[in-house]
Amino acid sequence: MLTKINHIGIAVQSLADAVPFYRDNLGMAFMGTEEVPEQKVTVAFFQIGESKIELLEPTSDDSPVAKFIEKNGAGIHHIAYEVEDIEAAIARLVADGARMIDSVPRNGAHGARIAFIHPKTSRGVLTELCQMGH
């Protein structure tokens, strides 16, 4: 069902502050930024091997990432796994009793279709499924 880790999401207060560390000090390949209004975040992506690091800055106080930072501070926010068929993956998880945050895919960055599994199901890790546009 899962084909690879697409990205690891890291919540940050400020992309302007965080991007130079990942780009210049760690030397990761910076892929640019994108606002994703549906999720109330602006993200910066870095390629690392076959996967990516996604820095997430909240765009409003009621963003899920703003709430996370308020509670925990900046840090690892979610892991995103790539799937070939997101509807089939959701249906299988629902049938197995998983608590889905999204039972219908939403719009993610880079034109991906995404769905989150609640961290209470995935043992304390907020988990994103993503199907890339082909």
Question: Closer to ligand LP2KCY5N at the Cβ: 25 or 74?
Answer: 74
Rounded Cα distance between 59 and 41, Å, is: 5
Taking CB under 5 A as the rule, which mask of x and - marks residues 65-104 in contact with Co ion?
A: ---------------x------------------------
Rounded Cα distance between 39 and 59, Å, is: 9
- The token duo for 77 is 């926010």
Question: Closer to ligand LP2KCY5N at the Cβ: 25 or 111?
Answer: 111
Which of helix, strand or coil describes residue 88?
helix
> Does residue 77 interact with ligand LP2KCY5N by CB under 6 A?
yes
